A and B are shown apart, each in its own frame.
Chain A
């Protein structure tokens, strides 16, 4: 399915040049999307606006990361470091 008209893409601060609205590669010519560099938006099947988007997947990923970092920190500090030989006490 081709990208819908990208009406909400006003020229903005992100720095695109003028008149680029139509420079998306012709999706008809892309046999299987993903085989052209920078064509990620050719695979868009739905437009999700600001108010419809809750990054729940990001929250999940970041929670996993925080758990790993917390556990690794405790291991590094209390096992590897404080459990090591010759603590400097002065």
Chain B
């Protein structure tokens, strides 16, 4: 098959572009250490969340020196915690969010950041992020979940270490 030499040049350029994209993503995974949400969170019975040792009492759990787990249950149309009460985590800590849904598919986005995942009934999404200085983030559901989807929001308070106290953790 005859291919014009200019098109051969472009074919090579296109392949270079594709390989470059894959290389960039691989760098992000290996070099910058970005991990995808995957099947590590395991499964959960959506109708029996109250039987789960942690999701039955969602909130912030201390797991180590400056390490915390935050369990969040999404439902039509709120996050627990997050909506009625803000999620609280201490500043300069490493936090793993465990997110599930007790009804339909929801989204979990810490507004203006890369912390962004799905909440699918039956599945637990886990994402680990490092929080820095004290601040407050917005939280929203970014997957349509029903007629009041737009009201499903909340906040995350990154509390200064000096003000962090026992009442802010479940355990």
Residues of A within 8 A of B (CB): 54-56, 58-59, 62-63, 66, 69-70, 73, 77, 81-82, 84-90
- Asked if B21 and A89 sit within 8 Å, CB to CB, the answer is no
Using C-beta atoms within 8 Å of the partner chain, give the interface range for chain B: 20 to 34
> Interface SS of chain B: helix, strand, loop or mixed?
mixed
Contact mask for chain B residues 19-40; partner A; CB cutoff 8 A; 1 contact, 0 none: 0110010001000111111000
Interfacial chain A residues near B36, Cβ < 8 Å: 88
Measured CB to CB, the closest approach of chain A to B21, in angstroms, equals 7
Interfacial chain A residues near B35, Cβ < 8 Å: 88-90
Residues of B within 8 A of A (CB): 4, 6, 9-10, 13, 17, 20-21, 24, 28, 32-37, 96, 110, 112-115, 126-131
Most chain B CB inside 10 Å of its own CB: which residue of A55, A77, A85: A85
Closest to A66 in B: B13
Q: Nearest 10 pairs between A and B by C-beta?
A: A90-B128, A86-B113, A85-B113, A86-B129, A86-B115, A59-B6, A88-B127, A89-B33, A84-B114, A90-B35
Measured CB to CB, the closest approach of chain A to B69, in angstroms, equals 12
Closest to A82 in B: B32
- Asked if B114 and A87 sit within 8 Å, CB to CB, the answer is yes
- Asked if B9 and A59 sit within 8 Å, CB to CB, the answer is yes
Option from B9, B17, B24, B114 in Cβ contact (under 8 Å) with A88: B114
Q: In the complex, A70 Cα to B10 Cα: how many Å?
A: 14
**Could you write out 5 A-B pairs with CB less than 8 Å apart?**
A59-B6, A73-B24, A86-B115, A87-B130, A90-B128
Closest to B40 in A: A90
Interfacial chain A residues near B112, Cβ < 8 Å: 84-85
